[in-house]
Amino acid sequence: GFKCGIVGLPNVGKSTLFNALTQTAAAQAANYPFCTIEPNVGEVAVPDPRLEALAKIASSKEIIPTRLTFVDIAGLVRGASKGEGLGNQFLAHIREVDAIAYVLRCFEDDDITHVEGKIDPLSDYETVETELMIADLESLEKRVVALEKRARGADKEAKEQLELVNRVLPLLRDGKPARAAKVSDDERPAFDALNLLTSKPILFVANVDEASAAGGNEFSAKVEQQAKTEGAVTVVISAKIESEIATLPTEERTEYLEALGLEETGLDRLINAGYQLLGLVTYFTVGPKEARAWTIERGTKAPGAAGVIHSDFEKGFIRAETIAYPDYVALKGEAGAKEAGKFRLEGKDYVVADGDVLHFRFAN
Ligand code: GDP
């Protein structure tokens, strides 16, 4: 599955947030059979109101959302790239995630030590990102000599990579992350293959005090400003409140949220933001038994999408019966869509669109 790493300095609220996420997941576990939780890895349901709308139309007995994995990556301190704290182990964990949620401390509490001595979320962000940039810089500098050698031969792949490396190195030396590099769609696979830490998409989590959960505070405002300049999203959240909400029964949750002036939990906002960040596409399968959401990467063709359900579906793929989500809803289901000519038969070259309601035909 797709993974979002929770990253930040110590004592900023990462574990509090992670525990709230897994507690919510644990509460959902009865409904969602594939929920597996390890100490620092948790799977959560991605809330999607479209799924409820589809289930209602098809009178589906069960609703099965798609899932997103969060990984609590503890141990980052200043000097991590030089082996301080958990050092390399920490960096290896970040390498494995698809996106990063930077948790920044935006709450004051004299009882909880700030490792850098003061509340300054932007400086914390810089500290963390600097460690990742140093690690990327060192990893590329190590690789560049070998790449140059290969590129002098007829190695096309090495040439392409070298060009990218030479584009990214000056940025890193200038204190900018690899994601700041201009990369064309054609170059994207080679760029991704460099597997850099600072090329991963990021979002900011401004962890505010309880009183600021609804409106944010001066610290989170600074984070939002910074995020804007980077084209990143900020989720303002109070990890402490979220951890309280996560323990409540569903009925009481809504009441509690209303009392705080919140429409949805910060966790739901975080999960959705993480999902958006990964640029993923959701398609649906809908029937009387269940309405279910599935996740694929953007650009996936119908057989690949079928393979997410079962490899047999991909191997024996014949066609995908397809109804776009808005059509399915407006025409009140498959029969209506058929009548209106909105039921399409798509072949193996069809690129699945977000919201497609699919039924795969396959041969064994
Ligand atoms: P981590 O080291 O980043 O994983 O941080 P923790 O989640 O362990 O949190 C460190 C301390 O800060 C704990 O005592 C938390 O209860 C506390 N904490 C986390 N979030 C908040 C918050 O929003 N407000 C307040 N007052 N304390 C918080």
In tens, the pLDDT along 304-332 reads: 999 999 999 999 999 999 999 999 999 99
How many angstroms is it from 12 CA to the middle of ligand 1? 6
What was the pLDDT predicted at 7?
94
Establish whether this prediction's ipTM goes over 0.90.
yes
* Domains with residue ranges and CATH for the chain: 3-277 (3.40.50.300), 299-362 (3.10.20.30)
Q: Is 13 annotated as a binding residue?
A: yes
Residues of the chain with pLDDT under 50: 30-37
One-letter-per-residue 3-state SS of the chain: CCEEEEECCCCCCHHHHHHHHHHHHHHHCCCCCCCCEECCEEEEECCCHHHHHHHHHHCCCEEECCEEEEEECCCCCCCHHHCCCCHHHHHHHHHCCCEEEEEEEECCCCCCCCCCCCCCHHHHHHHHHHHHHHHHHHHHHHHHHHHHHHHHCCCHHHHHHHHHHHHHHHHHHCCCCHHHCCCCCCCHHHHHHCCCCCCCCEEEEEEECHHHCCCCCHHHHHHHHHHHHHCCCEEEECHHHHHHHCCCCHHHHHHHHHHHCCCCCHHHHHHHHHHHHCCEEEEEEECCCEEEEEEEECCCEHHHHHHHHCHHHHHCEEEEEEECHHHHHHCCCHHHHHHCCCCEEECCCCECCCCCEEEEEECC
Probe residue for ligand 1, chosen from 6, 7, 9, 11 as the CB with the greatest number of ligand atoms within 8 Å: 11
Probe residue for ligand 1, chosen from 240, 243, 270 as the CB with the greatest number of ligand atoms within 8 Å: 240
In tens, the pLDDT along 164-215 reads: 999 999 999 999 999 999 999 999 999 999 999 999 999 999 999 999 998 8
How many angstroms is it from 363 CA to the middle of ligand 1? 54
Q: Is 14 annotated as a binding residue?
A: yes
Residue nearest to atom 15 of ligand 1 (CA): 13
Residue nearest to atom 7 of ligand 1 (CA): 13
Residue nearest to atom 27 of ligand 1 (CA): 240
Residue nearest to atom 19 of ligand 1 (CA): 13
Q: Is 11 annotated as a binding residue?
A: yes
What was the pLDDT predicted at 112?
86
What was the pLDDT predicted at 38?
57
Cβ–Cβ under 8 Å, residues 243 and 23: yes
What was the pLDDT predicted at 305?
98
